[in-house]
Amino acid sequence: MECDVIDDVTGSLRGPRVVVRRVVEGSPAERASGGSRGVETGDEILSLNGVRLATVSVAEIRQFVAETPLTVALLVRRRVQRQQTAHRARSLRQLAGAR
């Protein structure tokens, strides 16, 4: 799995973000358990082995990744596809119009 570390340059309190750029076919990230699918491109990794990544610096994130054992626990926020969001918005408008 390849990720991009995006440093928050807007000055908000959010902190750095780690976003999955590519998932290697057949990798543990692709086969990850705990849901119907593994890690996907565009997902945001919120924590690594219990460490909330938004609370640490970019340098610390890189250090955590370099020192991570073979087995990791990830908390991941699934990226919502724009097409799915648009479809949900249309469905809600249709439902509201039916009343």
Distance separating alpha carbons of residues 71 and 82, to the nearest angstrom: 32
Distance separating alpha carbons of residues 66 and 44, to the nearest angstrom: 18
The encoded tokens of residue 24 equal: 């290697």
Which CATH superfamily hosts domain 2-97?
Answer: PDZ domain (2.30.42.10)
Contact at 8 Å (CB) between 46 and 54? Answer: yes
Q: Where are the domains of the chain?
A: 2-97
Residue 57, pLDDT above cutoff 60: yes
Instruction: Dump pLDDT digits (tens) for 15-38.
Output: 788 888 888 888 888 777 555 667
Please choose, from the candidates 50, 49, 27, the residue with its C-alpha nearest in 3D space to the C-alpha of residue 39.
27
Instruction: Dump pLDDT digits (tens) for 60-84.
Output: 888 888 888 878 888 888 877 654 5
Neighbours of 29 (CB within 10 A): 20
pTM greater than the 0.75 cutoff: no
